[in-house]
Structure 1
């Protein structure tokens, strides 16, 4: 949040984190990784970008990963990197204040919605809720072959085996959700099949595979 807030003061928009190989780059992690290796000057002079890529677990199959990491750091993180400790501390304080207000509003909304949710459980009403959870955002339109490439690169980032079990994937996902140390983007695909659900093409003859969703 601090990085994003400061970029806004520099008229740099960060609607979505930048991509490499179809995967979103965790900017705070990139910043911390570069600092761990001695800072940007050290990384450039000692040609440590390949090491940064390895620590970021960016697959070697991702095209121009080293050059793109350099470009991303210079565009999105260098302005933040040049802040003095006092300026950064002030920025942190502003973010903490904004976050506290945000949490208070969220708590108030939850308290206001509680009677409506109870009524829904009892079957007395069918409330309309147009709000989207903060962690769910509208993604980018991508071709199916690009989606497969993202899946392949993601697998190589987080799993030693090319075909992890569904249980292993589930465990890895919830580990990151619980620890909350890294930025994780989970892509989902949907096709208008005429009925509610999600679908993925499985062959040239079959346009989509529809899966029912249960809550």
Structure 2
């Protein structure tokens, strides 16, 4: 196969198979919902070395290091990268700073009360969405209609919900989604990076088991 061949990949979010609505999913939805009010819409998180950036983790890592101004002035992007397990990331200030500025700065400038309000709205919207998901699981005909695109508008998940919040939760329930288009070179790089991370994670688990044995 030619390295220049391009194809669409499929993302499989393994963690969602155990918990579709964990803390990261909840806060990522809140970030997306607020960005949509600023006319910034994105389906999935940006990539670093082929892997999606955990935006909530990046936000909290910067906060633990004193906020954006402190991170920039004291040149702590390397420390932020270490907290995010991006130990091999070259020039983290060049890669993490633009991502933070585009996707997280509007969310970070909100007050605690404003963020809590967004989180509450997201939680409310998810609860409604989750109940409808359970109803579809119990009703195979409704699921078939959704797959065939013949579902009535009255059955839509977004009915009566805030458009920004509903849009932020559009793929929240999906474990397998359509991914980006990439060439074979990029796919190999992503595969190698994920393989390295997996090996590091399994070694850490073995080490922890030995310590607690």
- Classify the TM-score, shorter chain: 0.5 to 0.7
Distance in 2 separating the partners of 1:46 and 1:64? 15
Deviations 1:115-138 (A, max 9, x none): 899xxxxxxxxx798389712111
Alignment of 1:160 with 2:188, yes or no, is: no
Checking the alignment, whether the CA contact within 8 Å between 1:59 and 1:157 is kept in structure 2 is: no
1:23 CA displacement: 1.1
Aligned length: 154
Counterpart pick for 2:60 among 28, 32, 37? 32
Which of the two has higher C-alpha Rg?
A: 1
Alignment of 1:130 with 2:139, yes or no, is: no
State the superposition RMSD in angstroms: 2.9
1:145 CA displacement: 1.7
Distance in 1 separating the partners of 2:51 and 2:63? 22
**Structure 2 alignment gaps of length 5 or more:** 1-28, 149-170, 207-213
**Structure 1 alignment gaps of length 5 or more:** 118-126, 162-167, 173-215
Q: Which has the higher contact order (CA 8 A, sep 6+)?
A: 2
Deviations 1:38-68 (A, max 9, x none): 21111111100011112212252x5544311
Checking the alignment, whether the CA contact within 8 Å between 1:22 and 1:146 is kept in structure 2 is: yes
Counterpart for residue 2 of structure 1: 30
Return 2-11 or 36-45, whichever deviates more: 36-45
Distance 1:95 1:54, change over 3 A: same
Counterpart for residue 118 of structure 2: 91
Q: TM-score when scaled to structure 1?
A: 0.63
- Structure (1 or 2) with the greater strand fraction: 2
Counterpart pick for 2:107 among 80, 87, 98? 80
Distance 1:52 1:156, change over 3 A: farther
